[in-house]
Structure 1
Amino acid sequence: MEQKQQLLNKLSPLLQKAEGTRRKYRFYQQVYNNLILLFVMGILSLILMVSLNNIGFSRWMARVMPAQNFGIIQFAMIAYWLLFFVLMTATYRFKNKFKQAEREILKIALDEIAPEFKFETHKQIPPQQIAESKLLPGFTPVRNNKKSPSIHNLNFGVLRGKVGNSSILMGDVNIINQGVYNSYLMFIPLFPHLLVTFNFLRPLVSKHRSSDHFGSHFVGMFAVVDFPKKFKGHTVILPDSIEKRVGYLAKTLQSLNISRGQLVKLENPEFEKHFVVYSTDQIEARYLLSPSLMHRITQLRQKIDKPILLSFHRNKLYLGVRHAHGFLSLDKRKSLIDTDVFGMLYEDITTAIGIVEDLNLNRNIWNTEAPLASN
């Protein structure tokens, strides 16, 4: 606690300066977002009108498009797009200025909080490792081009180091899953327009998402932890949000998720209340998820109070933790002076570094003589 307060005092001038930039950025962004919402809703309304009542739409167009009205419509469109591009330019200008200030604050903070870790601002978690984790859903692409990854990470900034004997790479990720946009689903009438509208409106009703990340599938921390033990199968642990919504039908729906392997049923009601497990090897999954490890994962979820995802593959543990404002980032929605934004950043970093210890991964928690694959 004392370290956090000393660090806050040290960074106070930089936070004051960054707050002015943040306010300008948020103002331009909110107006810009409202313009986008107006455009999206307008286009969607026109498409629905044409689809549901083409004759009525044609009559309405005939009334509003006489020569005397056409000039007014043209002027309104020019004014809209002029304002749109001015606001877009201003938004990205102040966003980049805030990002520079944020990186300066973050570098000083990390030197104090985690001096044993190396902070690399221009590197990112490789998309190939994110795809290999199987923590994000995939879709059937229209063109099966293996050289082009279906998952793209837009954010940069990684921490690299060791916790005990475990090497760990963690970073800030903003995942755009291109699978759905390049899938056969996009040929369904109205689906592309509804998808865009859904992606734009979703952050407005979710505490785990932000309008800063329009179209993003996953925003937050992604970590890769190396182990000396090699896993022969692939085991994935996900938040059990389906069961909370559809109750007894959940297991049937979850069992259909064949892309991640078979649904694994475990004898731990508290763990299964919060998580669902898939694996390519049932025996290995039960061996990995010992009662003590399931208990620690459940405790970790309660501690950080954010959705978490884990998977074991080869000799790695992959871990994802959702953050609405991103990991290694200041929450742009709140004042840097009047709220505890820096305190939340401090807690995010210390919690992330402590995950290896929280899960007891530095110890030999698996018996090296036990079989790891079914015969």
Structure 2
Amino acid sequence: MSTNFTLPPAVQKVVAELEIQRKKIVSNKLQGWSFIVFGIICFVIGVVLGLAILAIVGFIIAIPGAIILFRIGESVSNYKSRFKQEVIGAALNSVDKSLTLDPNRGIVESEFTSSQLFTTSPDRYNTEDLISGKIDKTSFYFAEVHAEYKTEVQTKNGRQVTWHDILKGIIFTADFNKNFNGVTVVRPKNFGSKIGAWFSKNVYSFGDKNVVELENENFNKNFVIYSTDQIEARYILTPAMMEKINDLNQRSAYTISLSFIDTRMYIAFPLDKNYFEPPVFKTLLKPDLLDDDMSVLTFMYDIVRELDLNTRIWTKQ
């Protein structure tokens, strides 16, 4: 997934303003951390050498640094908010006027769970950057999700808590114009890879009796199909649909997974970075500023066309 996106002149002006704000944030961060590090060094030396005055001075020096870092929190939030609303928002409009971004919303945890892509319930859940739109008859939305579960082990030093990812990536969902009677899940077959092994533990688990055998060699190399309604699964996964899912999977960085439930289709895309975030310690004034973000955006936007979801082979009952 790659693209070259040129910022409109009006947006370039916003980026120039944000670059000034970014530099000020970096300067304040460096100043704050300088006070803190120097204060800690003085404090440690004072403690080691038994110089109480030096230790106290070190503690006092660190206080302004902590205050500086605390105060720039609002500036950082404003910087990120303006970038998402004014820069990413303009990029969305360049693709389709119907696209909207809500940085503070996402896929709610209850929907994440009810998608039945995952067996593990999250102990910690975060979602943001909800992007919604409509192409012809098909409404869709997607958002970044980071869902985790924890394990606890009792050791001689006390209870040790470890956090594990259920999903770090994007959940995409679209209207399928069909009230499904059952649940159909398409999961990766290649469990040899890291992502495949991850899915083998976390994707919704069905019994062997729920396996659906379909005559598509390429599809069967990549995926295993499970369904509570074998007939319905065959109606959903037509030869044309399987080819399109294969093509979509080829374009994705990691193996995707899908579920068809109620009236919607869900797709999980594991990703290795957080998108739609402005850099803080790197300049905004670079030609490829939005290339990665636009690659993901156009990829998600094209899913409706890739899977031909506007062709209504059913009507809702």
**Structure 2 length normalisation: TM-score?**
0.70
Relative to structure 1, the CA distance from residue 13 to residue 223 in structure 2 (aligned partners, 3 Å threshold; closer, same or farther) is same
CA RMSD of aligned residues (A): 4.5
Kindly state the Cα deviation for residue 273 of structure 1 after the two structures are TM-superposed: 4.0
Greater fraction of residues in helix: 1
Kindly state the Cα deviation for residue 100 of structure 1 after the two structures are TM-superposed: 1.9
Q: For 2:99, which of 117, 125, 129 is the aligned residue? A: 117
> Deviation string for 1:58-109 (max 9, x for gaps)?
xxxxxxxx9977979x88x969996995686367445313312212212233
Secondary structure of 1:233's counterpart equals coil
Q: For 2:147, which of 176, 183, 195 is the aligned residue? A: 176
Q: What corresponds to 1:225 in structure 2? A: 174
Greater fraction of residues in strand: 2
Q: What corresponds to 1:195 in structure 2? A: 162
Secondary structure of 2:182's counterpart equals strand
Task: Please tell me whether residue 9 in structure 1 is matched to residue 25 in structure 2.
Answer: no
Q: Structure 1 unaligned segments of length 5 or more: list them.
A: 36-65, 140-148, 200-215, 369-375
Task: Please tell me whether residue 100 in structure 1 is matched to residue 100 in structure 2.
Answer: no
Q: For 2:206, which of 247, 261, 275 is the aligned residue? A: 261
Q: Give the Cα separation in 1 of the matches to 2:10 and 2:265.
A: 36
Q: Give the Cα separation in 2 of the matches to 1:294 and 1:277.
A: 11
Relative to structure 1, the CA distance from residue 87 to residue 231 in structure 2 (aligned partners, 3 Å threshold; closer, same or farther) is farther
Relative to structure 1, the CA distance from residue 359 to residue 123 in structure 2 (aligned partners, 3 Å threshold; closer, same or farther) is same
Q: Give the Cα separation in 2 of the matches to 1:163 and 1:295.
A: 21
Kindly state the Cα deviation for residue 138 of structure 1 after the two structures are TM-superposed: 0.9
Amino acid at match of 1:159: I
Kindly state the Cα deviation for residue 11 of structure 1 after the two structures are TM-superposed: 1.6
Q: In the TM superposition, what are the counterparts of 1:141-290 in structure 2 within 5 Å?
A: 152-155=125-128, 157-170=129-142, 172-177=143-148, 180-181=149-150, 185-189=151-155, 193=160, 195=162, 217-240=166-189, 242-244=191-193, 254=200, 259-262=204-207, 264=211, 266=213, 267-290=215-238
Q: Give the Cα separation in 1 of the matches to 2:251 and 2:93.
A: 25
Kindly state the Cα deviation for residue 296 of structure 1 after the two structures are TM-superposed: 0.9
Kindly state the Cα deviation for residue 194 of structure 1 after the two structures are TM-superposed: 6.6
Q: Give the Cα separation in 1 of the matches to 2:62 and 2:232.
A: 57
Kept in 1: contact 2:5–2:288 (CA 8 A): no
Kept in 2: contact 1:228–1:315 (CA 8 A): yes
Q: What corresponds to 1:308 in structure 2? A: 256
Q: In the TM superposition, what are the counterparts of 1:61-140 in structure 2 within 5 Å?
A: 85=66, 89=70, 92-102=73-83, 103-139=85-121
Q: Give the Cα separation in 2 of the matches to 1:94 and 1:24.
A: 9
Q: Give the Cα separation in 2 of the matches to 1:276 and 1:79.
A: 62
Relative to structure 1, the CA distance from residue 258 to residue 114 in structure 2 (aligned partners, 3 Å threshold; closer, same or farther) is closer
Kept in 2: contact 1:224–1:319 (CA 8 A): yes
Amino acid at match of 1:132: S
Relative to structure 1, the CA distance from residue 347 to residue 260 in structure 2 (aligned partners, 3 Å threshold; closer, same or farther) is same
Kept in 1: contact 2:11–2:86 (CA 8 A): no
Relative to structure 1, the CA distance from residue 351 to residue 67 in structure 2 (aligned partners, 3 Å threshold; closer, same or farther) is closer
Kept in 2: contact 1:131–1:151 (CA 8 A): no
Q: Percent identity?
A: 24
Aligned length: 293
Relative to structure 1, the CA distance from residue 125 to residue 11 in structure 2 (aligned partners, 3 Å threshold; closer, same or farther) is same
Kindly state the Cα deviation for residue 21 of structure 1 after the two structures are TM-superposed: 4.4
Secondary structure of 1:348's counterpart equals helix
Relative to structure 1, the CA distance from residue 154 to residue 119 in structure 2 (aligned partners, 3 Å threshold; closer, same or farther) is closer
**Structure 1 length normalisation: TM-score?**
0.61
Q: What corresponds to 1:293 in structure 2? A: 241
Amino acid at match of 2:139: S
Q: Give the Cα separation in 2 of the matches to 1:305 and 1:258.
A: 18
With 238-247 and 275-284 compared, the bigger mean Cα shift is at: 238-247
Kindly state the Cα deviation for residue 186 of structure 1 after the two structures are TM-superposed: 1.5
Q: What corresponds to 2:309 in structure 1? A: 361
Kindly state the Cα deviation for residue 319 of structure 1 after the two structures are TM-superposed: 2.2
Relative to structure 1, the CA distance from residue 116 to residue 67 in structure 2 (aligned partners, 3 Å threshold; closer, same or farther) is closer
Amino acid at match of 1:305: A
> Deviation string for 1:319-341 (max 9, x for gaps)?
23344443444566864323512
